[in-house]
Every structure is written in C-alpha cells, then in structure tokens.
Chains A and B, each alone.
Chain A
Amino acid sequence: GESVGLHLPTLSVQEGDNSIINCAYSNSASDYFIWYKQESGKGPQFIIDIRSNMDKRQGQRVTVLLNKTVKHLSLQIAATQPGDSAVYFCAEKPYTGGFKTIFGAGTRLFVKA
C-alpha cells in the first residue's frame, strides 16, 4: 500500500553542524511534498514544501531535495540550533484521492550543545 517512511528514527547532531533527514515515498502519483516540524506537546508546523516539477527548494536555513527517480526526499538544516530539536515528518499528497496528505512516522532530531 501507500507509505511514506523514514530511513532513521533518530538523528543526533552537534550544534552548528548541518542536519540531513531522509524520507522515502512509495506512491509515484504523489506530486506535492511537505516537511513538518513537531515540538513536544504541539501540533506539526509547516517548514517547507516542494512540487514534483522541482528537485530543490530553499528556505531560511532549510533546503528540500526531491529525487523522483528513486522516490526520495530529504530535508537539510544548515547550522543546526538547539531550537531545531523536534520530530520531523515528511508528507506527500498524491494528485489522486482528494488531495489527502499522507504522513510518515517521523525522525526525532537531537541537537547536542
């Protein structure tokens, strides 16, 4: 069935280093992808999105890369800060099925001071 999964459940990085969070998706019909950040006790927060006609999109300190050939999505965080500690979810929206967003299980990012 459809699934959005993550390669690593946890990631620990040193403050100031770059973080890379990976995600694999299986639905080739997906044409829109989103990364969310969820801090403890809060709802997910939109970080950045990318459409399937792009392979890279940059935001403030974050970059999303999309490789449709291998159905892989990654989130890069530059100069990781303690405030970046959270669970990160990738999500996909297939262009069929009423625009339902499918979330992956999440990766927990720990930032060491």
Chain B
Amino acid sequence: EAEVAQSPRYKITEKSQAVAFWCDPISGHATLYWYRQILGQGPELLVQFQDESVVDDSQLPKDRFSAERLKGVDSTLKIQPAELGDSAMYLCASSIGGRHGYTFGSGTRLTVV
C-alpha cells in the first residue's frame, strides 16, 4: 500500500535553532498538505500545495516558517528560529485533490527545549 514518507520521526532542538522536516507524498498526488497537531487537538493546516504552487498558507507563521515543493513532488517545511510553542507533531498528507480524503504520513514529533 502506498504511503506518505516523512523524516525524521522525532526531532529535539533547542529554541532559536533551525529545524527542517521532509515529506515525500504518494506518487501522482498533486496536492500536498502540512499540518501541525498539538497534543490532544485535531490537526491544523499550515500550508497546502497544488503541484509546486502554494494555494493556502494563511495559517503559516511566515516570520519563522517556510515551506517549499520545488519540483511538485517532495516538500520541506522549515522553522527558523524554533520557539518552545512549536513543540508538536508535524503531519504531511497528500491527496489526488478535490473531494477525496487524505493519506497522512506518520509525522515528525518536534520537541523544542
């Protein structure tokens, strides 16, 4: 069964440091999403890509977060500088688009100390 790959699985970083997460969506899925999930809450959308273009980054804290999907395939989410409040699970998901459910990766658990 096709999967969304994410790395690393876990990341511990000191505040003010830079951190990056990587996602490889299911082949052929044009739509890619980055979500942040705080413990005990539902996922919240950070950014949505359609191919290589950002279609929604309204909830992305752009002063410190950036995301790219240069070739419309894999994607990187970066935080610089990391803050204590950024500790969360960062989930990547992909979809063929439109009215279809997502396939999520296993996420990256970030702890900022």
Contacts and interface: CB of A to CB of B under 8 A. Distances in A.
Interface stretch (A14-22, A68-76, A78-86, A94-102): A94-102
A93 B99 contact: yes
Contacts of B45: 100-101
Interface size range of chain B in the complex? 20 to 34
Q: Classify the interface of chain A: helix, strand, loop or mixed.
A: strand
By secondary structure, the B interface counts as loop
Given A44-B43, A100-B45, A105-B42, A49 B106 contact: no
Nearest to B98: A99
Contacts, number: 54
Count class of interface residues, chain A: 20 to 34
A51 B99 contact: yes
Contacts of B99: 31-32, 51, 93, 99
Given A43-B93, A44-B43, A105-B41, A100 B104 contact: no
A46 B4 CA distance: 13
